[in-house]
Amino acid sequence: MAKQRPLYAQLASRYVKEISDGLYPLGSYLPTESEMAEQHSVSRATARAALNQLVLLGLVSRHKGVGTRVDSVRPSSGYNPSATTVEDLVYYNSATIREVIQVETIVADYELASRLDDKPGRRWAHVTTLRYESGQQQTPICLTEIYIDSAYATVAEKVHGYSGLVVNKICEDYGVTIDEIRQSIRAVGISRDTAKALNCLSEEYGLEITRHYYDTHNSLLLMAISIHPSSRYTYTSSIKRPKNLSSSTTSLSSPEAYVKAEK
């Protein structure tokens, strides 16, 4: 059974679309809380929460005594892979190309549900993709299995031809905000089918990177599992001494970590 989205999120999503469609152009003002509540038969608290969500998405700003002004027609609060606000996160180079292999709806079994931290029996949109380095589409960098919560399933059909991160498309279409990304990395044996898709040896080992994307209510939006052949991906990190430590200090109680990905 699909998970019901909060009413304020549904309302915010509606205004995201209306702003994107030009119903509210740049510099115009949205209805007030009371007007919005009356128009959509919701409480003022729900209207306020929806407006706050639009503020978080960078679409509007609220001005006391004036109203809520439209500042952008596209959300700006998705995850930016080059941003440093989410530390120690490895992501693909922006120059890579995504090829969609399959889009389907699946029902999570016990094994998948445990990885999704969810109950078995729920439906998820499932998208399988390959990533290539630009100009070198003979050898894939990785294969990625993307699982999208059924509440945002329409995004699955829009992945083909969309160059940004899939989770950002969820933010754009539904007016939600990414609050946390949890990442785990482990070595795995590459299965025969995956090896065939990646054009590598089935007995080769690979690096599996799993990322869970959560919204501001700690609800999972999307899980992505990427398999990289060991010969095509290297995870490197460096830990630097904080600048405020004196030269006589030998311990590093709160190091600054910088992580980057190399092919």
Q: Is 106 a domain residue?
A: yes
* Long-range interactions of 245-252: CB distance < 8 A, separation 24+: none
182 and 221 inside one domain: yes
pLDDT computed for residue 244 by the predictor: 62
**Which domain covers residue 199, as residue numbers?**
96-239
User: pLDDT of 124-139, one tens digit each?
Assistant: 999 999 988 766 667 8
pLDDT of 91 strictly over 60:
no
pLDDT attached to residue 135: 64
Residues 126 and 234 in one domain: yes
CATH of the domain at 54: 1.10.10.10
- DSSP assignment string, 64-95: TTTEEEE--SS---S--TT-SSSTT-----TT
**Greater pLDDT, 186 or 139:** 186
Q: Does 258 reside within a domain?
A: no
Are residues 193 and 117 both part of a single domain? Answer: yes
Residues 50, 111, single domain; the answer is no
Does the residue 262 lie in any domain? no
The answer to whether 183 and 210 are in contact (CB under 8 A) is yes
Burial of 125 (0-12, 13-18, 19+ CB in 10 A): buried
Residues 146, 50 within the same domain: no
Q: Tell me which of 70, 85, 119 is where a domain ends.
A: 70
State pLDDT tens for residues 24-61.
999 999 999 999 999 999 999 889 988 988 888 788 99
Token representation of residue 145: 């299995």
Q: Residues, the chain, total?
A: 263
Per-residue pLDDT at 96 exceeds 80: no
To the question of pTM greater than 0.95 for the whole model, the response is no
On whether residue 89 sits in a domain, the answer given is no
The domain that holds 127 is classified in CATH as 3.40.1410.10
Angle at 226 between CA 74 and CA 166, to 5 degrees: 15
When the pLDDT of each residue in the chain is averaged and rounded to a whole number, the result is: 81
85 found inside a domain: no
Q: Flag whether 161 is in a domain.
A: yes
Query: Where does the pLDDT of residue 86 fall: very low under 50, low under 70, confident under 90, or very high at 90 and above?
Result: very low
Q: 230 and 114, same structural domain?
A: yes
Decide if 44 is inside a domain. yes
- Confidence bin at 262 (pLDDT 50/70/90): very low
Q: How many domains does the chain have?
A: 2
One domain for residues 169 and 211: yes
What is the mean predicted confidence (pLDDT) over 189-209? 90
Does the residue 153 lie in any domain? yes
Task: Let me know whether 27 and 136 are in one domain.
Answer: no
